[in-house]
Amino acid sequence: MKHCTAVLGGGCFWCVEAVFSDLKGVLEVIPGYSGGHVENPTYEQVCTNETGHAEVVQITYDADQISYADLLKVFFSTHNPTTLNRQGEDVGTQYRSVIFFGSEEERQTAEEIKREMAPLWDDPIVTEIAPLEKFYPAEDYHRDYFRRNPQQAYCSMVIAPKVAKFRAEYRDRLKAH
């Protein structure tokens, strides 16, 4: 088993966590913050739009079961990478589409998959590809948020439809429950 990590931001980290948690080969998904200038930011600080951080997830995966490229294909097909600093009604730089790479090989793969996925969208992809400097885990109450709060309004109206669409499109790539 080859454990690797990827750090991705595609809007609200609750949505991104809910999607990737179901994917075969994914071992753990931790919501957090990256890409800003404040040490150990809090959710409240990130929401001010003044820390520079994006809401992201750190995905630990088994590279023998799923590749980094395949993770990125799921990433580009499960959020809108063409809207700058927003996903749906979530607006602000913390909701930007971003891939934080940990190596030159990951950067090259990210650029390649970004080009490969571009024809799926009518508008240009604006996903930022940047070096990972630091990942800060979010507060504990953000972990497994969708699973623990399925009746919460945001979860039922925004996350549930996204997860249902993902499960339908990637049915053969899901973990057995």
Nearest to 6 by CA among 83, 110, 82, 85: 110
Q: Residue 87 — φ and ψ, nearest 5°?
A: -140, 110
Diameter over CA atoms, the chain: 42
pLDDT at res. 126: 97
E strand or H helix at 165 = helix 160-169
**53: which residues sit within 8 A by CB, 6+ positions away?**
33, 34, 35, 36, 38, 41, 46, 94, 136
- Within 10 A of 77 (CB to CB), how many other CB atoms are there? 16
Rg over CA atoms, the chain: 15
Q: Which positions of the chain have pLDDT values less than 50?
A: none
Q: What is the pLDDT of residues 129-165, one digit of tens each?
A: 999 999 999 999 999 999 999 999 999 999 999 989 9
pLDDT at res. 101: 97
pLDDT at res. 44: 96
The torsion region of residue 26 among left (phi > 0), alpha (psi -120 to 50) and beta comes to beta
pLDDT at res. 177: 60
pLDDT at res. 176: 75
SS3 breakdown of the chain: % helix, strand, coil, rounded to 5?
40, 25, 35
| Structural domain spans, the chain | 3-173
47 is catalytic: no
Pick the CATH number of 3-173 from 3.30.1060.10, 2.40.50.100, 3.40.50.720, 3.40.50.410: 3.30.1060.10
pLDDT at res. 174: 84
CB 28 within 8 A of CB 61: no
In whole angstroms, give the CA distance from residue 103 to residue 83: 26
| 43: amino acid identity, one letter | Y
